[in-house]
Amino acid sequence: MPEKNTRKSQRQSGRDAEGGPLAIRTGGLASIFDDFMRPFDDLMRPFEEFMEPLFPRSFFSELNRREPSFDIQDRGDKFVATAELPGFSKDDVEVRVNPTSLEVKAEKKTEDEKKAKDGTESRRSYSYFHRYLTLPAQVVTEKVEGTMKNGVLELKLPKKEGRMLEDKARRVDLK
């Protein structure tokens, strides 16, 4: 019986017998409430299915937002920056570079309208990405090259050698 009371007091204090923290199951904060929320979710499911055509989940939820992957690597004589921008074409992306910084913007708006005899259904979406970063070393803006292929942006930024170049920003045309 004392063992049972010890376990209960350990749970209440949040410490094990040696005074260290008790392990908490992984899965994030949301998983703690899964069992509690399941009956409510079951109750709301028919209502959500009814409302889905009128108000898509993305209309209410900010959880659907994702930040695209963006990576910059130092390859000795140049920096190589890659960004995964699924759904964007090269015409949707704008890249600006100056000797000390890089700016990438991507914006896409879509509108779809379907007419049927019982009404009109229209859907609009808007996607936007913006990243500005200071480069660890100066680059030669005139020699920066960029490609956009299958939703992946790749920029090659040659490093400056020797004396300072002008600080004029330049737009990079994507291939």
Judge whether residue 14 has pLDDT over 60: no
Mean pLDDT of 51-73: 66
User: For position 20, what pLDDT does the model report?
Assistant: 45
Where do runs of H (alpha helix) occur along the chain?
A: 2-13, 29-32, 34-51, 57-60
Q: What single DSSP character describes residue 105?
A: E
pTM over 0.95: no
Which structural domains are found in the chain, ordered by start? 29-65 (no CATH), 70-172 (2.60.40.790)
Rounded to whole angstroms, what are the CA distances from 135 to 67, 80, 81, 102?
Answer: 20, 11, 11, 7
Amino acid at 38: R
How many percent of the chain have pLDDT more than 90? 31
For the chain, what is the largest distance between any 2 Cα atoms, rounded to a whole number of angstroms? 80
Segment 121-148, tens digit of pLDDT: 888 888 888 999 999 899 999 999 999 9
